[in-house]
Each structure stands twice: as structure tokens, then as C-alpha cells.
Amino acid sequence: MAIWKAQRTLLIVGEGYDEVAFLSHLKQLYVPRGCGLSVAIKNARGKGALHVIKWTAGQIANAEYDAVAAMLDTDADWNEKTEKLARTNKIQVLKSEPCFEAMMLRLIGKTPTGDAHALKKQFAPYVNNDATQRDHYAQHFGSGCLQAGRGKELSIDELLKLLGQ
């Protein structure tokens, strides 16, 4: 007879496809089956920070989770109003400042420069030119890189803590 183990539930919403691929990579790295943590990853499909928080709030209106987080860029719609809405709904915000690509470049010791388009181009070689595929994060964003990056990127540290690391 199997011993039933209570699952802690976590919802993490990614602003878009790139964030979802990265979050799925982390789930594969740190959340093995039967570990007592159930992680749901959902895609808010962009449109800025306010949209991501509203969309996440809608998700938790329909289901209950022990913890809820949203990974979003701070370059669009991130302000006091959005932050307050996140707090009101108990959504932990994992901020990518100013955007996901800049945070990821800093994680591997690169200096991000330019606008969002330039940052996407600068980041592309590190994810096999397709940031929407989970497997493309394995080469440059393994456990060693992520653990080392905790001190540099608060959002990565918070994310790893949510995943029990």
C-alpha cells in the first residue's frame, strides 16, 4: 500500500512563452515526481505587467494554490497600482528588470545592452535561437549557473526558494 503524501501546490504564471519555457526547465530540474510539490505553470501571453497580474488573479479565483507567483517584465505597466493588485491577490511577483532577456543575460555573466529587440537578439544564441523551447535552457542555465546567480538576481533566488531549493 502506497503512503499518501500531502502535496504543496504552486502556481507560477509566466508573462509569455519564453518565461514558460524557462519555468518548465526549472520544474524539470528541481521538482521530481513524488517530491511533495505540485507545480502548475501557465502562460499569460504577454501584454504587460498589469495584464499578467489580472490574468493570474483570474486563475486563482477558480482554483486554490498554496503559493502563487508571476514572472513578468518591469518595462511595461509595472507601477504602484499593479504592485498593489498583486499584493491584494497574494501573488508573489518575480520581476525581470527591465525584461526577461536582460535578467537571463546577467545570470550568465553578460552585460545586457540596448532596447528589448536588441536584448532578444543578444540572448538568442544562449537558447539555440529559440527561447520558447524548454530544452534550450539546459546548456547555459543549469543548476550551477542558477545557484551562482541567486546572489545577483533576487527573482531567481525567490523562484528557487518557491521550488524548495
Domain map (residue ranges) of the chain: 8-162
- Residue 35 in contact with residue 60, Cβ under 8 Å? no
| DSSP-derived 3-state class of residue 70 | strand
Average pLDDT over residues 45-72: 96
Which percentage of the chain shows pLDDT scores above 90?
93
Q: Which CATH architecture has domain 8-162?
A: 3-Layer(aba) Sandwich (3.40)
Average pLDDT over residues 9-14: 98
Which percentage of the chain shows pLDDT scores above 70?
96
Distances (CA, A) of 86 to 55, 57, 103, 164: 11, 8, 21, 22
pTM over 0.85: yes
Residue located via cell numbers 546548456: 139
**Confidence grade of residue 7 (pLDDT, cut at 50, 70, 90):** confident
**Confidence grade of residue 141 (pLDDT, cut at 50, 70, 90):** very high
Q: Kindly state the cell numbers that stand for 35.
A: 517530491
pLDDT of residue 6: 61
Q: Tell me: the pLDDT tens digits for 115-126?
A: 989 999 999 999
pLDDT of residue 62: 85
pLDDT of residue 4: 57
pLDDT over 70 (residue 5): no
As a whole number of angstroms, the distance between CA 129 and CA 36 comes to 34
Cα-Cα-Cα-Cα torsion 60, 64, 68, 74, nearest 10 degrees, comes to 0
